[in-house]
Structure 1
């Protein structure tokens, strides 16, 4: 199979779909890899590194899309990219379709087979291709909160870790999954006071044991969220419903209860955001203010640390990508995890959560793929 790797074009996105090390793995198994010139510049991998790994270099994205049987990316295709997709071609990348009807229409119109990293599952039902970027985003969320809290950036001027004799900042993490756990770990490490809110009692028990009493845990109710947000210096939105739009857990009304110039970091923004007033921002203009509260809603947070992110992502995606390259659609038919990752196939939406979020008809993946 011919594998295509275009350069990412989303604002301040420096990750790359395949590292040179991953290219070498594909080539060693008999696949051809074509990489757009400069695609690896964000991870300090020049064209020569890709050529040494066995890839050929394309002059532009149009050449990559025209020649590839499977396109491997990081972020969702942009309008100029989805029009280059075609029937019979596999797209393997993050999609986050639930809050993005235009992209969904574009993929439907293209006829391609789109497999989303964020809905691929493992044998235990976990999300192995979302996990590494969730780990990165969770850790970055505390850095982002700390930056946004600086008075020069519009924040309240609180140092999350405090200093001796001065109260530490209060961090509330809504969601105790991968993002929330790593956010809490970073916040605890800084010395902040941390509360984690989650709707799973078993998960709250795990977190209590994991942090050995260094964090407070609360069961998720509207009252709990409202009271914790009111006293927070920084709130991290870390909720996830796989494939679906994120629920709006912090309402605009709650902003009036918060400390002036405190910070909301919405890590769920890829799925529409879990704060009512959230809208996507970029690394070049990451924050906005609503009712005196700073909102940080960058939709590709891990793109800020592409060396770490690209290698972590490739470590996770490589086995699944190789399976797709080796077997094509049969890999999806025979692997329940990849089948869960199938979002669109030949003009049909195959992920129920996406379809429900967008009000579209859905067909199960097995039926859509056919025998």
Structure 2
């Protein structure tokens, strides 16, 4: 199979879909790999690094899209890229279709077989291709939130860990999954007073048992959320429903109950965000203010630490990429029901139920698509 990896063109996106190590593995399996020139620069990989493992280098993205049987990326294809996709081609990348009707329509019109990293599952019910970026984003959230809390950036001017005689920042993390756990760990490590909220009592029990009071836990009722955000200096949104749009857990009206200069970090923004006032921002212009509350809603947070993120993502995606290349998408998905969960579109048909519900579109079972 001919595998192609274009340079990411989303603003301030420095990650790359294939590491030299992944390219070496694919070539060792008998496949050919073509990288767009400069695709790895942002993550510290040169064209020569890819040439050294046997990959070809193309001067333009057009050549990649025209010739490759499988396109491997990081972020969802932008409008100009979607025009180059075609039926019979595999697209393997993050998609986040639920809040993006334009992208969904374009992928369906192209006929491409699109497999989304964020809906591939594992035997434990986890999301193995989302987890490494969730870990990165979770650990970044308190870091960028503490920057936004600085007075010069519009925040309250509160130091995360406080100083002797002055209390620390109060941080509320909504969601106790991978993102929320990592955010809580780092925020607590910075000295903040941290509370993690979740609706799963087993998860809250696990957090208490494992972290032994490093941070507090609360059941995520509407009343508890409304209460805690009034006291918070920082609220981190870390709620995920696989494949679906994120629920809006804090309304615009509730902003008036928050402290002036408090900070919201919405890590769920790729899925539409879990605050009613959230809108996607970029690393170049990451924050805005609504009702006196600073919002940080960068849609590709892990891109800020592109080297770490690319290596972590490459480790996770490589086995699935090789299975798709070795067997073809149909056999690979037939053999692996967890990879099958990643199938979002094929030949003009939508195959992810959560996306269909979010966008009001008809859905066909991915299992039926594989069989026929």
| Band of TM-score, shorter chain | over 0.9
TM-superposed CA distance for 1:218, in Å, is 0.6
Query: 2: CA distance between counterparts of 1:215 and 1:48?
Result: 46
Query: 2: CA distance between counterparts of 1:357 and 1:311?
Result: 32
Correspondence for 2:178: 178
TM-superposed CA distance for 1:334, in Å, is 1.7
Correspondence for 2:168: 168
Say yes or no: does 1:349 pair with 2:350.
Answer: yes
Correspondence for 1:360: 361
TM-superposed CA distance for 1:214, in Å, is 2.2
For residues 4-153 of structure 1, the aligned pairs below 5 Å read 4-153=4-153
Q: Which runs of 4+ in 1 moved over 4 A?
A: none
Equivalent pair of 1:345/1:369 in contact (CA under 8 Å)? no
Aligned residues: CA RMSD = 0.6
Query: 1: CA distance between counterparts of 2:145 and 2:48?
Result: 38
TM-superposed CA distance for 1:170, in Å, is 0.4
Report SS of the residue matched to 1:305: helix
Query: 2: CA distance between counterparts of 1:305 and 1:214?
Result: 26
Kindly provide the CA deviation profile for residues 222-250 of structure 1, in whole angstroms up to 9, marking residues without a partner as x.
Answer: 10000010000000000000000000001
Query: 2: CA distance between counterparts of 1:118 and 1:167?
Result: 38
Equivalent pair of 1:196/1:217 in contact (CA under 8 Å)? yes
For residues 273-312 of structure 1, the aligned pairs below 5 Å read 273-312=273-312
Report SS of the residue matched to 1:280: coil
Query: 1: CA distance between counterparts of 2:348 and 2:124?
Result: 30
Query: 1: CA distance between counterparts of 2:211 and 2:74?
Result: 32
**How many residue pairs end up in the alignment?**
371
Q: TM-score, normalised by structure 1?
A: 0.99
TM-superposed CA distance for 1:78, in Å, is 0.1
Correspondence for 2:196: 196
Query: 1: CA distance between counterparts of 2:127 and 2:186?
Result: 22
Q: TM-score, normalised by structure 2?
A: 0.99
Correspondence for 1:254: 254
Equivalent pair of 1:170/1:194 in contact (CA under 8 Å)? yes
Contiguous gaps of at least 5 residues in structure 2: none
Query: 1: CA distance between counterparts of 2:81 and 2:370?
Result: 24
Report SS of the residue matched to 1:53: coil
TM-superposed CA distance for 1:112, in Å, is 0.5
Kindly provide the CA deviation profile for residues 179-225 of structure 1, in whole angstroms up to 9, marking residues without a partner as x.
Answer: 00000000110110000000000000011112211211111111000
Query: 1: CA distance between counterparts of 2:156 and 2:76?
Result: 34
TM-superposed CA distance for 1:369, in Å, is 2.8
Query: 2: CA distance between counterparts of 1:43 and 1:257?
Result: 41
Query: 2: CA distance between counterparts of 1:37 and 1:156?
Result: 44
Correspondence for 1:336: 337
Kindly provide the CA deviation profile for residues 20-49 of structure 1, in whole angstroms up to 9, marking residues without a partner as x.
Answer: 111000001100000000000011111111
Report SS of the residue matched to 1:316: helix
TM-superposed CA distance for 1:125, in Å, is 1.5
Query: 1: CA distance between counterparts of 2:253 and 2:194?
Result: 23
TM-superposed CA distance for 1:161, in Å, is 1.0
Report SS of the residue matched to 2:257: coil
TM-superposed CA distance for 1:368, in Å, is 2.0
Contiguous gaps of at least 5 residues in structure 1: none
Correspondence for 2:245: 245
Query: 2: CA distance between counterparts of 1:58 and 1:314?
Result: 21
Query: 2: CA distance between counterparts of 1:205 and 1:253?
Result: 32
Kindly provide the CA deviation profile for residues 52-76 of structure 1, in whole angstroms up to 9, marking residues without a partner as x.
Answer: 0110001100100111000000000
Report SS of the residue matched to 1:171: strand
